[in-house]
Structure formats: C-alpha cells, structure tokens
Chains A and B, each alone.
Chain A
Amino acid sequence: MAENFYMGTYDVIVVGAGHAGCEAALSSARLGLRTLIFSINLEAIALMACNPSVGATGKAHLVREIDALGGEMGINIDKASIQSRMLNTAKGPAVHSLRMQADKHIYHIEMKKVLERQKNLDLKQGEVVDLIVENQTVKGVITKTGALYESKTVIIATGTFLKGRIFIGEWSYEGGPSGLSPANDLSENLKNHGIMLRRFKTGTPARVDGKTLNYDKMIEQPGDKETMPFSFMNDHLHKSRVSCWLTYTNKDTHSVILKNINRSALYGGQIEGVGPRYCPSIEDKLVRFSDKERHQLFIEPEGLNTDEVYVQGMSTSLPEDVQEKFYRTIPGLEKVKFIRPAYAIEYDCIDPIDLNLSLEHKKLKNLFCAGQFNGSSGYEEAAAQGLMAGINAVHKIREKEPFILDRSEAYIGVLIDDLVTKGTNEPYRIMTSRAEYRLVLRQDNADLRLTEKGYKIGLISDERYEKFLTKKKLIKKEMDRVMTTYVSPTDINLFLKKYNSSPVKNRVTLLELLKRPEITYNAMSEIDKNRSEIDDRITEQIEIQIKYSGYIEKQMQQIEKFKKLENRKLDPDLNYSKIQGLRIEAQQKLMTFKPLSVGQASRISGVSPADINVLLIHLEKERRKNQR
C-alpha cells in the first residue's frame, strides 16, 4: 500500500457537506478558524436528497432559530424558495409553521457559492477514510487518496453516506444517496477507533416526469398570497411561483402493491436497519393501516428548470416494475414516466447517547458529530446540529465553555437534549409536541430569544444585530403606547358591539381590549387613530404577547422551576458509584451518561426522583466539605 502524505493543517475539518456539514463549516470559519470541508462529490453540497421543501411544524422553528443564531439555512431557503405557505394558521401562534418549496438546484448552488466565498473555508472533493487518533484524541483525517490533514477538531456529518446501501425491490447495492458513492472505509475505521455504530434506514419516493402527469385530475395547492421570508434578515419574499398537487391511491393501487409485497426489500427481509415511523413506505402503510381506503399523494415540483416532480407519500422498497405499475393506477398518474425510482437506504450512524450535549463524542476527544450520523432525520434537524457542532468545535479549541441551549430556550435545545439524553431508536424528527415550553418557543420570536446569544458567540453581523435592536426597540415602544393609551366607553362601545364584544363602563387601555380574543390589533385601528405605520412583525409580537400573556406567564413559571435543576451543574467525572443511597441502576446510568446538570440527570430513563434527591443531598454535602 502506498504511503500517506501530509497535505495541510486546519483548526476544524468537517467530513460531509450536507445540511449539517455546511452549517458546521460556515460557523467555524465565520468564527475565524481555518476550516476544511470534505464532500465525496462537490455536486452534493447541500443536496436535498429527499423532499424539495424546508420547514413545516417544528422544523420551521429550527430554521428560524438557526437563522437567529447566524446560521445559513434561513437565508439560503429564502433564495431558493419557489412557494411558501404558513401552516396551522387556524391554530395558536406557537404552532404556526412556515414551509417553503425549494428549487433544489438553486438551494445547492447558492449554498455552494456561500461556502466558496467564505473566508477561512476551503472546500475539497474527497473521501475521508480514517481519523488520526492519539491518546483518545482526534488529530486529523486521512483521505482515500492518501492525503493526510492535521486538525485540532473533526466534525463528522456523513449523513446517509456511511456504509450506505441502496434497496430497490429485490435488488440492492452499496451506494450513497442520489446515485453517489458511499463511504465504506470510514465506517470500518471508526469502529476500529472504538466508536459504536448501528444501522438506520430511510427512504425516498420516485421522481417522475411532470410532463406525463394529468393535473386536471388532481387538487391544486397553491402557495400563500402573502409570502413571508424565513430569515429575519429579509423583509420580503418573492411571490410563490409554483403549485403542489394532491391526489389519492385507490383499491387498484393497493391490490397491485399487496400482490407484489413479497418482492419488497422490507417485507422480503433484506433490510435490517430501523426506519422512521413517520416515513413508512406505502407497502408499510397498507399493511399497518389495512382499513384505510386511500392514501394521499402530494406532488411537489423539484425546481423551476426541471420537469422532475417528487411524489410525496409513495416511498417504497418495491422493484421498479411494480412501482411503475401501481403509480399508474392513481388518478393523474395514468401515463406517468419514471425518472428516478423510489429507493430505501440503509446507513451507519451512532447512538447519540454516546455524545455530550456539546455534540462532542464521549470516547474520542475533539471529535464532534452532527446530522443523520447522530440518528436524526431531516434537513433542518441536521443543520441545527451542524451549527451547534461548529460553534462547539471552536469553543473547544479556544477553551471556552460549550454553547448549550436548554429545552426552555430553543427547539435546538429540545432536539439535542432528546438525542443525547434520551437517545432514539429510529431516525429522530422534531415535533412541536416534543417541546415542553412550546408557547414560549415560537418561530416568530426566535430572533428575540437567540440573536443576543449568537451575537455573544460572534456569529451575528453588525447589520443583523442593528436590525434586531431596532425591532426590540420598536416592540417596546409600541407596547408602552398600547399599555398607556386609554379609550373611553363612548368612543369604543359601538366598535365592541360590532365584534360581539361586551361593552365597557369605564375607560380602558388598548392593552385590555387586545386581551379579548375577538379583538385583533388590526381591527382596533378604527378606534386607535393615533397609531403609526408599523411593520407586521412588530404588531405580531404585540398581539401575541398581550393575547396569550396568561399562558405565556404560566410557562415562564414552569421554565423558572426547570431552570433551577438545569443550573445545578454536575462534574462529568463525578463517581456516582461512591454515592451512598443511589440505586445501582441509577449509578450505572449516570456513570455512562455523565450528565452535565441535575436537570439532565433527571431526564435519563432509569433515574428516579428519589435518586435526584439523593444526588442533591450529596452535592450539598460535598459543597460543605469544600467550604471547610
């Protein structure tokens, strides 16, 4: 075998340039560290390997948070957006969720451009096959062509590439997503370095030729008339330019699938990986929900300059002939031509409980991990971890405290705490119901929650910070005005009657009126003559903060309680087996998890409230001993 050769030294090396890798590399380069990012193929930078959309419930929250912290995803999706919809508008503001259809190619090209132009950041096409490890510490990487790069930290964001295996019906082969090659050697070498790996599975439906579809037989779903950008940096977003389409399977579809189910990789038993429950294949849906007469398909364009469309709802591991046959039973798809068949992909990933909250691996120092490699699923989940891993790799090098968001601060905190503290048995997807403090963690206030933190880290440009401060100031000013502006019964009782709102006897402030569910800020304009023209994003905050103040305060109190345990820090080297009164199971769990706070400890399964009490007593005992 040929000798390896030295090719350079960096502070941070990122392995993989998907949604996690890009955010990781950008944040470390932006924080001033020399960064190198690898991709097996540079055409795969920010590749949207599955659905052509960004956002939706929970995920939209993540995108806004990434943006508020100075990440790139929000800005990039605004550039690539071809349709935008706000979901859940009939529900409360906490679950309003923006979703955008993306032009996949624009998304990729724009992100690639940003990487290329980023100071301190080098891009390289190449396959990393091994880590350089000394004393359980990562020192660099080696590529398939023998190049050796030294670095202070390495971030692994290999997505589904790691020992990827593609399944289409009875056929399977080694491969990465979208016809790219897999990373096999790295997988073996990670194991050699003591990193435990496991197999997860995911799948993606077929891409078909949009010209062969009959849209007359489908239900059109256009974008919102009023569009709204993801990034807090953008004031406007261009109009929606495409529609999506709905259609449904029927009995014929189901009989074709069921007749051929033994030819599916999943039911044929070839796939051993664990797939996510929220992305079942169509054959899975038929078996598990046999009484359901039809299943919904959602046709999404892949971009402006392509005829390819994505058939959401139809991911399958059936062979191509069966795929085409059952697609053609669906109204509007009778003459469908396939461009890329649906496939399932199995890949290596870690169990995220092997990570610290900073996303550093517990076994190998200076090794950070992000994205699907950590057992998550989704572009947004990956990007969020990438950003955090990038920041923390920098903090590690600079010997700064890790940057950790807790469950009350951000969905990012919920995501990472869930992964690291609770672990996951399937590719993990964020959901608003995973957030205990949902009413506070809204997508509309992500900037108010996080921009200050991003600024302290150093990822916020002066322009963004100025914008943020101005917004804050305007909110306060308008809030003060609404709080102190009184209106008299004679001026408003007619107005109130119009909105079925009970009349008032004495003068009231605008704030008191706004508390009523039936009175909106906009409606109030007719009795609030002195108001000045204010941006919708300001009035949105006024309205939400006033209307839901009761609920928000209740959650704030819960958060205060939660924070107390979160702020009781634990020494990662604490020897739990020496703590008297702690049950054996709890001792073992705590020894393996090494939680950073009492709060985190309390969320580990197998640690009871009594154990936490014992722990608290122990901490106090130690504190007093040290005082002496």
Chain B
Amino acid sequence: MEDTIAAVATAPGESGIGIIRMSGEKSLNIINDIFKSKSKNKLSAIDDRKLVYGHIYEKNNIIDEVLVAYMKGPRTYTKEDVVEINCHGGMISIRRILELLLRNGARLAEKGEFTKRAFLNGRIDLSQAEAVIDLISSKTDKGFDIALNQLEGNLSEHIKRIREQLLQIIAHITVNIEYPDEDIEEITYENILLQINDITKKVEYLINSSETGKIIKEGLQTVIIGKPNVGKSSLLNALLKESRAIVTEIPGTTRDIIEEMLNVNGIPLKIIDTAGIRETSDQVEKIGVEKTKESFNKGDVIIFILNAAEELTNEDFMIMDLLKNKKAIVLFNKTDLPVQCDIEEVKKRLKDKKIIYTSIKEGKGLKELEETISDMVYTGQIKQDNPLLITNIRHKNLLEKSRNNLNDAICMLKRNEALDFIEIDLRNAWESLGDIIGESITEDIIDEVFSRFCLGK
C-alpha cells in the first residue's frame, strides 16, 4: 500500500484560488473526515468527477469555503484515487487545509512525487520520464534556498541539541535492555519522564515557532509610512515592478483589506495599510496617532519615508517618536532634488535605524533597500525574540510526528509499560527529528552506548 500524499498544486499566489491535491488509497476517507458538503452527505462513488460545494472543518470550525473534486482511480493523473480541493487562495487557508490533510493521515508529497507516481503507475509515457528524473534530481532554485538554509542552520543546531538529549536517554535504555547483567544502574521512569517532558516542551516550542516561520511563507508584515507626497505609492509601484506582485484577498473578517504581496530577495513582503496605501491624504492626521500605533504594532518592519527636499514637520517628529522601539528603515527620498531637511536631526533621533538615500523617481537606492530588508530577516534582526523559524511544512510535520511519539512514550511511562516499548517510541521520535536535518543513522545509538557505558568481558 502506497502512502496517500498531498501537496499544494498551485504556485503560491498565482491565482485567486488555490488547489490542494491529494492522491492515494486513503484520499476519500481523509477528505470525508474534514469536508462537509451542502447536502451533508459524505463523498462517495456517485460524486466521482463532480465538483461538490461545501466547507472544510477543523473540529467544529469552518476553515474555508471550498469546491471539492473526487476522482476515482485509475482514470486519474496518478492512476490512484485523487481529491482536489479548490479553496480561496489565501496562503493561510491553503496551508491550514494542507495541514489538516496531513494530520488526518496524508503525507506531504515529495518533490515530483505526483508525477513519479503517474509514471510508475503507467500514466505518462517514456519520453516524459526524463523530465521526472530531472525534477527529482534537480537542485532547488537558487538563492532563496541558500538563504533559507542559513536561517535553518539555526534550527538544525537546535534539533541536534534536542536529539542529543534524546539520544542519551535512548542509549541508557538500550544499555539496560542489551546488558541487563552489567553493573549499570537501571534508568528510572521518573528520570525518563522528567527528561521527555522537557524534550517535548522544546519540540512544542519549535512547532509553535512555525507561526513565526510564516514570515517566509506568508510574508513579512511591512508598513510604509510617511507624509503625503513623500513617495509611498511610488515606492510600492517601484517594488512591484521589480518583483512579481501578488495580490491576495484574505477571506473572512479582513475581506475588505487589500494587501499587496511582493517578493524581495526571496522574502515575501506583505504591505499593510488599513487605510489604503495609494491614498495621498495625510494618514497621520486622518487616522490619528492611535491608529498609526496600531498599524506599527502589526508590522514586522516599518519603512518610514521622508522627503529630503522638504524640512521636517510635526508629523515627521511624531512618527519618529513612535518608531523608537520598532524595527524600521528610514528612507530619505527625492535626493535628486536639493536637500532641505535636517538629516542630522533625524539621525540623532533614530540612532540605531538604517538610513537609505533614495530617489524612487530615478530608481536610486531601491537595491539597497531590498538588501537591507533581506539582511534583517536572515540575520534574525526581525523577530529576534524567536529566532527559530520552521518555514517548511515538511519540517513541521516531522516535528509533530516526533511530538506524537514523545507523547506516546509519556503515556506508556505513566502506564508503567515495559522499557523496550518506550524505547521504540523514543527512537521513532529521534528518527523523525533526524529526518528534518537529514541524519538518521541508528548506529549512532550503538556508538553512544559504547562510549558512555563500560561494558564487556
């Protein structure tokens, strides 16, 4: 029996709707666990190749309004049972639905896996096989991954430490199992429980950090602020021109907010502006200090634009006061014109902030801005309080698997089950963590046993 696999089929943000695809024997069961059609009937053979309207639920909460197509194998792309879920393409919604599928028994598809199955099951022909191989063996695309790897170097260090801690317990249990007669003290259940609780907490922390990891997947919340006519909309348009723009409608309570998504050096920026960034009226005056503060709080990073060709005004001073403890970048725009503003004064007030001189009109300083933003993310200046970023749903999945194994072990410990059963759960947890960082060699356990314990004839 092959695993049932799932993945997002549409490229992020390319369209208003997103499609999540699932393939494998369990597809129908899984979708029926989380989907309720208008008619409340479970999907079955009669729904084969029909679009069914309904909602995806997580427990009793509606996650999204969707159209689901169930296609019975073998007349499908993979020749297996396939389910496609059309949802509102918002990143959050797609991601949550995918996570639900994974939690209900699907496994995240590997790169090219649908196509691989299509081929192995005889769906596509020989000439396409080469493409499949390229797909599987190709390196992922460029800088984005490299940057991400740096970011995740941090994660991998963290996981290594957790595994190390886990390994110590496993080795101790192993030695108690393999060498029951040696002069080695038996590890106590209290001791294991104490440590496993600690490890579980650390794994939980990583799982929760995936919310922060959303920065990479779902955009760095970016607030652009400044007086009218300093060049806010020009900046946005310029950035849009440089990168592939994404316009997303987020359903639900914030449906009326139009957000701009754009991609800067691999980092999606989500430009937030509750009042609409293209307005040219004086925001600060209009929405007031409180509102401005509020939008600042939402932002991971704030871009404050000043008109270098004008003198500083009260509004500028007010914004500077609000910016004090924020991650912010200061732009002196319109540097193509004679400088009028008191740059030194700004520098004095915003000591630790990066200052960039731009002329958006002439395209000057934009590169520097983009680099500054990505530096801030990759060096962890943004979200310093929570530097571990789980950006990858596969990682999150493995972490959850590991957490579940740990919880199983805790459960077994509390029920006083035999040590060797507990060891199996702990080893599974250890291996799942290893899969994240590409290390899962069982010989490690044996190495640890012999280096830590004195054994032999």
Interface residues of A (CB under 8 A from B): 50-51, 56-58, 87-88, 90-92, 94-95, 97, 203-205, 248, 276-280, 285, 288-289, 292, 294-296, 298, 312-313, 315, 422, 431-434, 438-439, 517, 551, 560-561, 580-583, 609-610, 613-614, 616-618, 620-621, 624-625
Contacts and interface: CB of A to CB of B under 8 A. Distances in A.
Nearest to A297: B183
A517 B1 CA distance: 31
A8 B138 CA distance: 60
A428 to B, nearest CB: 10
Interface string B395-426: 00000000000000000000111111101100
Q: Which of A95, A276, A298 has the most CB of B within 10 A?
A: A95
Give 8 nearest A-B pairs by CB, closest first. Answer: A296-B183, A92-B418, A277-B450, A581-B133, A581-B137, A289-B454, A92-B420, A279-B456
Contacts of B1: 560-561
A289 to B, nearest CB: 4
A246 to B, nearest CB: 8
Nearest to A310: B457
Given A88-B177, A95-B177, A292 B454 contact: yes
A90 B180 CA distance: 10
A92 B421 contact: yes
Given A92-B420, A438-B420, A624-B126, A433 B446 contact: yes
A280 B455 CA distance: 7
A315 B457 contact: yes
Given A296-B182, A438-B424, A580 B133 contact: yes
Interface in B1-42: 1
A414 B179 CA distance: 19
A265 B197 CA distance: 47
Nearest to B182: A296
Contacts, number: 121
B133 A614 contact: yes
Nearest to B112: A613
Interface in B118-164: 119-120, 122, 126, 129-130, 132-134, 136-137
B129 A433 contact: no
26 contacts: A92-B421, A248-B183, A278-B450, A278-B455, A278-B456, A285-B454, A285-B456, A289-B454, A295-B454, A313-B456, A315-B456, A431-B446, A433-B445, A439-B424, A517-B415, A517-B417, A581-B136, A581-B137, A583-B137, A613-B110, A614-B137, A617-B119, A617-B120, A617-B129, A621-B126, A624-B126
B430 to A, nearest CB: 12
Contacts of A432: 177-178, 420
B344 interface: no
B384 interface: no
B313 to A, nearest CB: 59
Contacts of A276: 456
A375 to B, nearest CB: 15
A147 B421 CA distance: 56
A415 B417 CA distance: 28
B126 A625 contact: yes
Contacts of A285: 454, 456
B442 interface: yes
A57 B179 contact: yes
B93 interface: no
Given A276-B456, A422-B443, 4 more contacts: A51-B457, A58-B178, A87-B180, A620-B129
B136 A91 contact: no
Contact of B136 (A51, A431, A614, A625): A614
Contacts of A94: 420
Given A431-B446, A433-B174, A312 B129 contact: no
A621 B116 CA distance: 12
B420 A91 contact: yes
Contacts of B455: 278, 280
A87 B454 contact: no
Contacts of B451: 277
A88 B417 CA distance: 14
